[in-house]
């Protein structure tokens, strides 16, 4: 039931004189939407695993780009084009530092984690997975890390193997070791489960996979908002995440890949920007990362994402993680104490997510009643139907937390759930 302590040195309670490491009330003022009322009640936004709200700094950066910097990039010699190119590439460098990648050209801008995964499937996957080969995923993947591989396996007559999870929602490492075999061509797995909140022990998994010369792709969409990610320390081969889940805009995401792998991969899409020269006889592809970025990119998206990462960095991802950990622990205790409520996903190491079901009440009804209280949660299968099957439920209610959520909001959630019980008494 407990969650991982991100940074033990931050666990000490602040003394009366010491400045607070993390002032959540101050943070909340940075997010204009949090002032909103919904159905006459203050908005309690607990659907952050679906998408996060945006701080003013991100909105300002994108407006500034359109008011004072808009031009197409990598093309013109004029002032604005050079300026836009610089800003776009500065955002790439911000992402590189955020993930601690070795090189900026290992950061490919994509639409989101889904496109990042599809890029790898369509290039690396199609080149390396053949008849009778195996792709190894886990039982807690989001549909975005299942379906693209399923399509590939069907095309190549390959086999999709699935590492099971235990009753708490933790990955069965013993089963992973058994399933990892000579036919395994790639391991693709989530860093943090969107439906359960489980943090996967990636370091161990990568070591085991690399011992068999199998590369590892990580879906980091639910991890980057909550825990520090160092792709060099993890030694993973690919890492994908979405900007909008980490306080950036929609439509922008990142695929990190090791240089050597990206270099050897064929391009994903053809078009402008991804070429060095084109004749009707032959096209020479551009260098990394541009080889994978056909067409005019989502410039303001990249700039917005850069601003979002700057925002998180200014607070410190460790501080963010420690705060969220505290709120999640508080919520876990409070919600699990409500009679008739069962938590789905009780891994020892968790981040951001509290999934639950209630005796005799369908999650959809929970969602509607909470909404009337101004509380936004997600109900349904969370694009992870196989996870629901593991736990024998058609759907769950999911509260998911971000850096601006408070214990008072958890109290509101608990009152809302009590109201659900009253209506259905």
Partner 1 sequence: MADLRDLYQEVILEHSKAPRNYRELATANHKAEGFNPLCGDHFTVYLTLEGDSIRDITFQGSGCAISKASASMMTQSLKGKTKEDAEKLFQNFHRLVTGKAKGNADQPDMGKLAVFSGVCEYPARVKCATLAWHTLQAALEGKQDAVSTE
- Smallest gap from Cβ 39 to partner 1, in A, equals 5
Residue 400: in which H helix or E strand, if any? strand 396-400
Which residue number, 315 or 388, has a Cβ lying nearer to partner 1? Answer: 388
Q: Which two tokens stand for residue 55?
A: 């701080």
Which residue number, 235 or 371, has a Cβ lying nearer to partner 1? Answer: 371
Q: Which residues does 184 contact at the CB level (< 8 Å), separation at least 6?
A: 133, 134, 135, 136, 161, 209, 212, 214
- Smallest gap from Cβ 361 to partner 1, in A, equals 7
With CB under 8 A as the rule, give the number of residues binding partner 1.
20
d(CA 143, CA 126): 19
- The count of other CB atoms within 10 Å of the CB of residue 406 is 17
For residue 22, the number of C-alpha atoms closer than 13 Å in the C-beta half-sphere is: 25
- Smallest gap from Cβ 140 to partner 1, in A, equals 17
- Smallest gap from Cβ 398 to partner 1, in A, equals 13
- Is 369 a residue that touches partner 1 (CB under 8 A)? yes
Which residue number, 328 or 397, has a Cβ lying nearer to partner 1? Answer: 397
Residue recorded with tokens 């610089």? 86
Which residue number, 36 or 423, has a Cβ lying nearer to partner 1? Answer: 423
Q: Which two tokens stand for residue 92?
A: 């790439």
- The count of other CB atoms within 10 Å of the CB of residue 13 is 5
Which residue number, 255 or 387, has a Cβ lying nearer to partner 1? Answer: 387
Residue recorded with tokens 């996979």? 209
- Smallest gap from Cβ 36 to partner 1, in A, equals 15
- Is 361 a residue that touches partner 1 (CB under 8 A)? yes
- Told to judge if 383 belongs to the known catalytic residues of this protein, a careful annotator would answer yes
- Smallest gap from Cβ 364 to partner 1, in A, equals 4
Which residue number, 289 or 363, has a Cβ lying nearer to partner 1? Answer: 363
Out of 232, 269, 276, 368, name the contact with partner 1 by CB under 8 A.
368
Query: What are the b/e assignments for 281-316, b being 16+ CB within 10 Å?
Result: eeeebbebbbbbbbeebbbbbbbbbbbbbbbbeebb
Which residue number, 40 or 339, has a Cβ lying nearer to partner 1? Answer: 40
Provide φ and ψ at 168, rounded to 5°. Answer: -85, -10
Out of 208, 349, 380, 407, name the contact with partner 1 by CB under 8 A.
380
- Smallest gap from Cβ 342 to partner 1, in A, equals 16
Out of 118, 198, 319, 379, name the contact with partner 1 by CB under 8 A.
379
For residue 21, the number of C-alpha atoms closer than 13 Å in the C-beta half-sphere is: 18
Footprint of partner 1 on 33-52 (CB under 8 A): 39-40
Which residue number, 44 or 187, has a Cβ lying nearer to partner 1? Answer: 44
Q: Which two tokens stand for residue 158?
A: 């390959």
Residue recorded with tokens 């945006």? 54
- Of 47-55, 167-175, 297-305, 381-389, the window that binds partner 1 (rule: CB under 8 A) is 381-389
- The count of other CB atoms within 10 Å of the CB of residue 368 is 13
- Is 365 a residue that touches partner 1 (CB under 8 A)? yes
- Smallest gap from Cβ 129 to partner 1, in A, equals 28
SS3 110: strand
d(CA 109, CA 301): 10
- Of 212-220, 237-245, 265-273, 357-365, the window that binds partner 1 (rule: CB under 8 A) is 357-365
Per the CB < 8 A criterion, the answer to whether 295 and 273 are in contact is yes
Footprint of partner 1 on 386-405 (CB under 8 A): 388, 394-395
Per the CB < 8 A criterion, the answer to whether 368 and 288 are in contact is no
- Is 362 a residue that touches partner 1 (CB under 8 A)? yes
- Is 363 a residue that touches partner 1 (CB under 8 A)? yes
Out of 2, 150, 372, 406, name the contact with partner 1 by CB under 8 A.
372
350 secondary structure, DSSP code: B
Residue recorded with tokens 């889904």? 114
- Residues 37, 340, 381: CA angle, nearest 5 degrees: 65
Contact footprint for partner 1 (CB under 8 A): 39-40, 360-365, 368-369, 372, 379-381, 385, 388, 394-395, 423-424
Show which residues are catalytic: 383
């Amino acid at each position: 039931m407990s969650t991982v302590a991100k940074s033990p040195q931050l666990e000490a309670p602040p003394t009366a004189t010491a400045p607070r490491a993390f002032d959540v009330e101050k943070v909340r003022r940075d997010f204009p939407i949090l002032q909103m009322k919904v159905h006459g009640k203050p908005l309690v936004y607990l659907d952050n695993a679906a998408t996060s709200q945006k701080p003013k700094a991100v909105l300002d950066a994108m407006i500034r780009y359109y008011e004072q910097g808009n031009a197409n990039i990598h093309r013109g010699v004029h002032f604005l084009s050079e300026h836009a190119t610089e800003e776009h590439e500065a955002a790439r460098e911000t992402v590189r530092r955020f993930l601690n990648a070795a090189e900026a050209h290992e950061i490919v801008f994509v639409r989101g984690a889904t496109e990042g995964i599809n890029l790898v499937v369509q290039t690396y996957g199609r080149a390396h997975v053949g008849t009778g080969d195996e792709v190894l995923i886990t039982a807690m993947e989001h549909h975005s890390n299942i379906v693209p591989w399923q399509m590939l396996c069907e095309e190549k007559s390959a086999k999709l193997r699935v590492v099971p999870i235990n009753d708490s929602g933790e990955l069965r490492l013993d089963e992973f070791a058994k399933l990892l075999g000579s036919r395994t061509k790639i391991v693709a797995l989530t860093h943090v489960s969107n439906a359960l909140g489980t943090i996967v022990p990636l370091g161990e998994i990568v070591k085991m996979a690399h011992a068999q010369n199998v590369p590892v792709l990580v879906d980091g969409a639910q991890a980057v908002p909550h825990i520090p990610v160092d792709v060099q320390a993890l030694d993973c081969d690919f890492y994908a995440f979405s900007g909008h889940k980490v306080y950036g805009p929609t439509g922008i995401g990142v695929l990190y890949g090791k240089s050597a792998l990206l270099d050897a991969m064929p391009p994903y899409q053809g078009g402008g920007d991804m070429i060095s020269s084109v004749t009707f006889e032959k096209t020479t592809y551009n260098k990394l990362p541009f080889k994978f970025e056909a067409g005019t990119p989502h410039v303001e998206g990249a700039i917005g994402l850069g601003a979002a990462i700057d925002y998180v960095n200014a607070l410190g991802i460790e501080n963010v993680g420690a705060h969220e950990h505290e709120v999640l622990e508080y919520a876990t205790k409070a919600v699990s104490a409500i009679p008739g409520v069962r938590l789905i996903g009780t891994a020892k190491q968790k981040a951001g997510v509290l999934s639950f079901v209630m005796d005799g009440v369908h999650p959809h009804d929970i969602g509607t009643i909470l909404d009337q209280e101004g509380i936004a949660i997600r109900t349904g299968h969370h694009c992870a139907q196989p996870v629901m099957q593991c736990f024998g439920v058609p759907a769950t209610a999911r509260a998911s937390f971000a850096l601006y959520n408070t214990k008072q909001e958890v109290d509101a959630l608990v009152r809302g759930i009590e109201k659900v019980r009253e209506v259905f008494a």
